[in-house]
Amino acid sequence: MTKMLGAGDPPTVLPLAESAVLDEVEPLPQAAVEGDRSRPLRGCFVTGTDTEVGKTTVSAGLLHALAQQGLRVAGYKPVAAGAVWKLAASDPEGHWYNDDVEALHAASSIELTRGEVCPCLLEEACAPHLAARLEGGRIEPALLIAGAHQLMPRCDVLVVEGAGGFCVPLVESPEFSEAPALPEVTIAAPTDSDWGTDDLAVALDLPVILVVGLRLGCINHALLTAEAVAARGLRLAGWVANRIEPTMPHAQLNIDTLARALRRRHEAPLLGVVSYRAPATAAGVAEDLDIGAVLGALNLRA
């Protein structure tokens, strides 16, 4: 049996591996499915032009910068793929480790368990729907949504980081998936259809911040992603240019082109240009962000 991952904490989603071996899956508790929806979500959904463009780096920087404004902030990574088991002197029992989850956990200003930061942690480092299939289960959308709502009463701002790019699949239609079906629950999209990161963003209904990894092709990737965000009826609140290639030629000209195009087409301002750092830190990234522009873009000004 594949080991179920829960980021070292009691899982808040149906265990993927367990769903593959139980003869009958118990119905999900309605309270867990619904979460606390008495308060609308406040914060942002961070997406990127691709994987490995610095979404986590920028998300952690946003958390740090917003916390410096006296706001209670929480990082949330609904799904993460790629985990290893680690032991440490401070944690002799060990836990499943994922770089993105650790970064958001460390940058949050309120006390969170790793399971609250990431309710669905998968071992295989590949597309989440494939990782779930390989581990014998299926991602449950309802509890990804509920996880965000359960955090909101404890914080002022929730920074949600998506997986990969904006249109990454999370759930496959049973027609294409060999994973067992889960109990039917009320969610923002039917469980018998394909469901992805873009659907998750729509369900959470947060303004979107786009991280653009500065490399050849980023202009096209950024404009296409911005169009995808708009097509789903979401507001592109702004974008962050991240210098992931320190020697990229004409980087500033690329930034200038995107600044004009995204402002003209989507009224999306540039929120900062993140310098290349190895390693990057949340505090360092926060210094590169225009916190006044961030607060304005997310309607967080007093």
> How many CB atoms neighbour CB 68 within 10 A?
13
Do the beta carbons of residue 157 and residue 45 sit within 8 Å? Answer: no
Distance CA 208, CA 236 (A): 5
Distance CA 9, CA 141 (A): 19
DSSP track, 124-145: SSS-HHHHHHHTT----HHHHH
Distance CA 265, CA 142 (A): 33
Which residue is catalytic, options 3, 55, 77, 86?
77
Distance CA 11, CA 292 (A): 37
- Cα 170 versus chain centre, distance: 12
Kind plus residue range of the DSSP H or E element containing 75? strand 73-76
Torsion of CA 186, 191, 195, 197, to 10 degrees: 40
Known catalytic residue: 3? no
Give the residue numbers annotated as catalytic, written as ranges.
77
